[in-house]
Amino acid sequence: MALHQFAAPRRWSSRLAFVLVVLGLSACAPMAPAPVEQRDTRVVQQSVVVPAVYSVRQGDTLYSIAFRYRLDWREVAGWNGIGPPYLIRPGQTLRLVPPPRRLTAAPNRSQRSAEPAVTPPASPPETLPKPEVRQTAPPPQKAPEAAEPATTAKTDEPTSTPAGSGPKRRVAGVDWQWPTAGRVSRPFDPAATRRGIGISGREGQSVVAAADGEVVYSGTALIGYGELIIIKHSDTLLSAYAHNRVRLVEEGARIRAGQPIAEMGISDRNLELLHFEVRRNGQPVDPLDFLPRR
Q: What local confidence, expressed as pLDDT, does residue 86 receive?
A: 96
The answer to whether 176 and 210 are in contact (CB under 8 A) is yes
- CATH 2.70.70.10 domain range(s) in the chain: 157-289
Superfamily name and number for 43-95: LysM domain (3.10.350.10)
Q: What local confidence, expressed as pLDDT, does residue 110 receive?
A: 52
Q: Higher-confidence residue: 42 or 201?
A: 201
- CATH 3.10.350.10 domain range(s) in the chain: 43-95
Q: What local confidence, expressed as pLDDT, does residue 173 receive?
A: 97
Q: Higher-confidence residue: 33 or 86?
A: 86
Q: What is the average pLDDT value for the chain, to the nearest integer? A: 78
> Using 50, 70 and 90 to split pLDDT, how confident is the model at 41?
very low
Tens digits of per-residue pLDDT, 176-211?
999 999 999 999 999 999 999 999 999 999 999 999
**Closest-CA residue to 212 (of 174, 167, 172):** 174
Q: Over pLDDT 70: what percentage of the chain?
A: 63
Beta strand ranges found along 248-288 (DSSP E): 254-255, 260-264, 273-280, 283-285
CATH topology of domain 157-289: Glucose Permease (Domain IIA) (2.70.70)
In whole angstroms, give the CA distance from residue 232 to residue 74: 12
| Mean pLDDT, rounded, for 249-278 | 97
Strand-strand pairing, 197-200 and 273-280: antiparallel
Between CA 236 and CA 240, with CA 239 as vertex, the angle to 5 degrees is 140
The answer to whether 209 and 257 are in contact (CB under 8 A) is yes
Q: Higher-confidence residue: 166 or 194?
A: 194
| Mean pLDDT, rounded, for 270-279 | 97
> Using 50, 70 and 90 to split pLDDT, how confident is the model at 98?
very high
Q: What local confidence, expressed as pLDDT, does residue 46 receive?
A: 58
Beta bridge pairs of residue 170: 175
Q: DSSP code of 266?
A: B
